[in-house]
Amino acid sequence: MHLLFTMLSIYILMVVLAISEAYVNIALYRPAYQQYPYKQGGDRYDASNAVDGRKSNLSFEGDQCAASAYNKQTATWWVDLTSIHNIHKITIYFLTANGDFGSLADEYLGFSVYVSNTTDILHGTLCFKDNIFTINTIPPVFTTNCFVRGQYVIYYNERLTGVVYPSDYYTSVYIGLCEVEVYGCPTTGYYGSNCSIPCSDVNCQYCHIETGTCQGCKPGYQGHRCELECERGFYGIECSETCGHCRDVSQCSHINGTCLTGCEAGFKGGLCKTGCDSGSYGVDCNEICGNCVNESQCSKINGTCFTGCNAGFEGNLCKTQCNRESYGIRCNETCEHCLNVSQCSHINGTCLTGCEAGLKGGLCKTDCDSGSYGVDCNEMCGNCLSESQCSNINGTCFTGCKAGHEGDLCKTECNRGSYGYECNKTCGHCRNKRYCFPINGTCLTGCDVGYEGALCKTRE
């Protein structure tokens, strides 16, 4: 009976060993980090030495270990498994100083091992906390089971000010890790000694590495056996994410949050969580904001310009040009004397085809200068009695003409044989009527026979 029991025990031990050896070292060659490198810029004792598979020489001089600077109050080292894995056990090969482990052990005492989805131990699961070892009992090769899942395996130790530690503990801590092996399944959704058995629940992503009990659902599912889809409006891992501004929230993918029928007005992107870029709005951000005073003040939902319109535009969207004959901010300026009112700029009121008669300037709001009139003030007033009394519109002389001229514009000399104001005087007996000066009647070429004087009106 004793022999049978012994053989059975050996068989069970062999099975256990076979199972433990079946898991994969998922930490091998993964990115690693350590606090307080031994020498800045050097890689002889780099954090990566602890995950390179080399463990034939566990001494400081073997160049196979990760080591940190001395005399520090905290020591942190972690390996990034690069994705979340199911973990079975963790084995640590401490640096042993050529077999004299006791000379370094006091700096390892009190260490902790965490598994976390971040590099923060406060977010992780404590797999092991040393409160049992002494410098004589701490093993140079340490193994602990840790049936959890995570992306980071973190080694941590501390000597905090004001805390009383056991007498075996050194006053500072140190990283001396020659190899850290993390055994588990390389892919999610499987368990068992060969990581070959699918999790029993179809929507289970993480199950207990030994029993297969579901520990976490695939994104989009919830419930004890991951049999339920996320409730409407939620998605992702543990249904913890909130759907964005989907056009129809029932069309938000419970797995990844994609809005299957597009976004509400004002949002874009597959998840509809990103507001429209400045200058765009509406469904899927397909509309372009109008002429808002400030483009960033255009409503991303309906395009309303919160701060008003640029000059020349009106309406909530600032897409409507000012009505004919108006321009400027809020279209509250009036086009007045453009040659063609439809050619008045709705932005600044400039008359694009010139001014009505009598006005000048870009806005055609300035009267012609004294002495000019007509379209764009291009005409010169005639011989008005008073230049300021020349109509800036049509050139009419309001107070009459200077002597020698007649007509509304006073641009016509008196007819042959007349002169003076309004040409109401008759020339004298000039030798040649054509040479009667129209202003004062002087006979420029002399008098007919029998007359004398400048006007040739006096008989000899």
- State which CATH number among 2.60.120, 3.90.660, 2.10.25, 1.10.3470 fits the domain covering 197-229: 2.10.25
What tokens appear for 245 in the block?
């501004």
At 58-114, the pLDDT tens digits run 998 899 999 999 999 999 999 999 999 999 999 999 998 766 777 789 999 999 999
List where CATH 2.10.25 sits in the chain. Answer: 197-229
Task: Return the pLDDT at 99.
Answer: 66
CB-based burial label for 434 (10 Å; 0-12, 13-18, 19+): exposed
Boundaries of CATH 2.60.120.260 in the chain?
Answer: 24-186
What pLDDT score was predicted for residue 104?
Answer: 83
Q: Give the 3-state secondary structure percentages of the chain, helix then strand then coil, rounded to 5.
A: 15, 30, 55
**pLDDT tens digits, one per residue of 44-60:** 999 999 999 999 999 98
pTM above 0.75, yes or no: no
> For the chain, which residues score pLDDT lower than 70?
1-21, 41, 98-99
pLDDT of residue 433: 78
Burial pattern 105-130, b for ≥16 Cβ within 10 A else e, equals bbbbbbbbbbbbeeeebeebbebbee
CATH no. for 24-186: 2.60.120.260
Question: Scanning the structure block, which residue is given the tokens 């009121």?
Answer: 349
For position 39, what pLDDT does the model report?
A: 81
Q: Give the whole-angstrom CA distance, residue 397 versus residue 408.
A: 6
